[in-house]
Structure 1
């Protein structure tokens, strides 16, 4: 089969009557993905921390046309797992269904690295732990939605090929979750890659659990590619001396958000995923919307199990969350 060159709204399922929650959607890849989903009729919750920025993004989406879809702000601060649970409970109070959960945030530029909530790196909290809490809290609603006739429920964790940079021995300890590879640009990307590996391990472990329960939910982990976003701009600008040079090269290296959204939107609502559900369950996707093999560490069933069970344990230990 020839490589896919594009994904448009025509390649997505009809989303009228469907409810979607997207984190990190007020700019970049998340914004472009919300636009595609809303244009196909979805009711989308844009989960974001800043109401002003979310409102501006929603207005821009409306000005650019989202057809008869709709976008609504949901307050969510992913640096605090307690807020992830609060936001999820707000959705449970408002909605009777949830068809797509997309965790699209890719926090990259943190300097210096911050320690929050029981001593965890903010990078791991934002990119994995809070999303785990959000997913776990919303899972009962998604399971009930999946039992409806014709349902097509999906959980999408946006990851990165940066996950291939790391070779962890375990995820059974807090130290493994919190591993700080160093302060150079390359070392920071390793720390980031560790959190992005967690996203794939989470998807793989969750898919196995859902399959064992006979729950027809499809979990996917797409890598959107090298995309120009506000986050990538900030990261390039933070690189000493070379940052300005790399920023100049950015337009040549980084694709626009719409291109990154193609693989992500395909994971969230692609017709082919629905038609070939078994093929895509637990899949890692690369641009453009192509199944690929992640690192051997992402495929390690022991690490998948350790990551999931350890995260459950850490969340329970955070007494302020329970």
Structure 2
């Protein structure tokens, strides 16, 4: 009896896995990126790594913006070899949870790079079990997933405009569905309940709202901004640092039925290179298709309030504004 039950469970799991992967969106664009410069944050593993690999294979100059330089250098070598040195792959230090690191990285880019055609805000973490603050006074999940990319994007907007047509892609998640309110005066959970999933979901909601307001500010510049949900992807995000048992279980489930990192990178790659997306901005993509978000994530008023609060929290300077 137990043997039959076990076999039935295996069959069901395999069927779900095959069906989910079969219906997952894929990028079919054959676009080349010779002469184009791309930045991918968090490119040393998972979705970011596979995104960097694909764009390098298309001939792009790919700048891997990573926290762990030793690990990133090894991955960069792997990408160069696996793509037959089709593109130029470089590694630079960036910790999106640290505003000083973001500013140092962005200032170096502005000093050394003459153009930037694609910015992919990919780096992210799942929040720790208990609320933790960075040395900038920001909750660590929000700092890593939202504030760091907010500051980075603002500082690079001038270069992106100069290089237009150019694209900004920010990775979000369907986890934003779990959030039913956003308090711009308590983005770091100063007065609101904190949990790992609440923090993660809020940061992903902020990614969408940030993109919405950004697209409004960039109207007519030739720079587009979109957010992407990669799907259920088996990556190391579920096992890094301090995680809850719930996230550990999610990680195990995604191993069984989710996408691998290569397939999980397809929606990002599609929005970054496909001719179909040329001129499309302010949208949320799932499986390479524009998809509706929650009503909360569509609020232009809330998007504007988030932007204003984020400017204050990252202490955005006049010379760092390019909109």
Same-fold status (TM-score > 0.5): yes
Displacement of 1:54: 0.6
8 A Cα contact 2:208 2:284, kept in partner: yes
**Partner residue of 1:168 out of 166, 175, 181:** 181
For residues 314 and 247 of structure 2, the distance between their equivalents in structure 1, rounded to whole angstroms, comes to 37
Query: Counterpart in 2 of 1:265?
Result: 269
Distance in 2 (CA, whole Å) between partners of 1:154 and 1:289 is 15
Partner of 1:250: 254
Gaps of 5+ in 2: 1-21
The one of 120, 140, 143 equivalent to 1:122 is 140
> Is the contact made by 1:38 and 1:66 (CA closer than 8 Å) also made in structure 2?
no
1:38 aligns with one of 44, 50, 56: 56
Check whether the contact 2:142–2:203 (CA below 8 A) recurs between aligned residues. yes
In the TM superposition, residue 246 of structure 1 has moved relative to its aligned partner by 5.3
Distance 2:161 2:316 in 1: 26
- Show the counterpart of 1:227: 233
Aligned counterparts of 1:49 and 1:85: Cα–Cα separation in 2 = 14
**How big is the shift at 1:4?**
7.4
1:22 counterpart SS class: strand
Quote the residue 2:172 is aligned against: 159
Matched, 1:194 2:206: no
The SS at the match of 1:29 is helix
Whole-Å separation in 2 of the counterparts to 1:311 and 1:91:
22
Structure 1 residue aligned with 2:114: 96
Residue 227 of structure 2 is aligned to residue 216 of structure 1: no
Relative to structure 1, the CA distance from residue 30 to residue 243 in structure 2 (aligned partners, 3 Å threshold; closer, same or farther) is: closer
TM-superposed deviation, 1:243: 6.9
C-alpha distance 17-254 of structure 1, shift in aligned 2 (>3 A): same
Normalised TM-score (structure 2)? 0.85
After superposition, the Cα gap between the structure-2 partners of 1:208 and 1:247, relative to the gap in structure 1 and judged at 3 Å, is: closer
Long gaps (5+) in structure 1 = 147-151
The CA deviation at 1:13 is 2.5
Change in 2 beyond 3 A, CA 1:60/1:113: farther
| 1:205 equivalent in alignment to 2:213 | yes
1:308 maps to what in 2? Answer: 307
Q: Distance in 2 between matches of 1:138 and 1:177?
A: 25
Quote the Cα distance in structure 1 between the aligned partners of 2:84 and 2:166: 22
Report the counterpart of residue 189 of structure 2 in structure 1: 178
Match of 2:89 among 71, 74, 78: 71
Q: Does 1:11 align with 2:17?
A: no
Please give the residue correspondences for 1:45-60 in structure 2 after superposition, counting only pairs within 5 Å. Answer: 45-60=63-78
Contact 2:61–2:87 (8 Å) recurs in 1:
yes
May I ask how many residue pairs the two structures share in their alignment? 297
Q: 1:67 to 1:161 in 2, by over 3 A?
A: same
Write out per-residue CA displacement over residues 30-86 of structure 1, whole angstroms, 9 at most, x where no aligned residue. 001111111111000000111110111111112322551121001111121111011
Q: CA deviation at 1:255?
A: 1.0
Identify the residue that residue 16 of structure 2 maps to in structure 1. none
Map 1:79-94; keep pairs closer than 5 Å. 79-94=97-112
Aligned to 1:149: none
User: SS of 1:227's equivalent?
Assistant: coil
Change (3 A) 1:116 1:13: same
Name the counterpart of 1:131. 149
Which structure has the larger Rg over C-alpha atoms? 2
RMSD across aligned C-alpha pairs, in angstroms? 2.4
Structure 2 counterpart of 1:24, from 9, 22, 42: 42
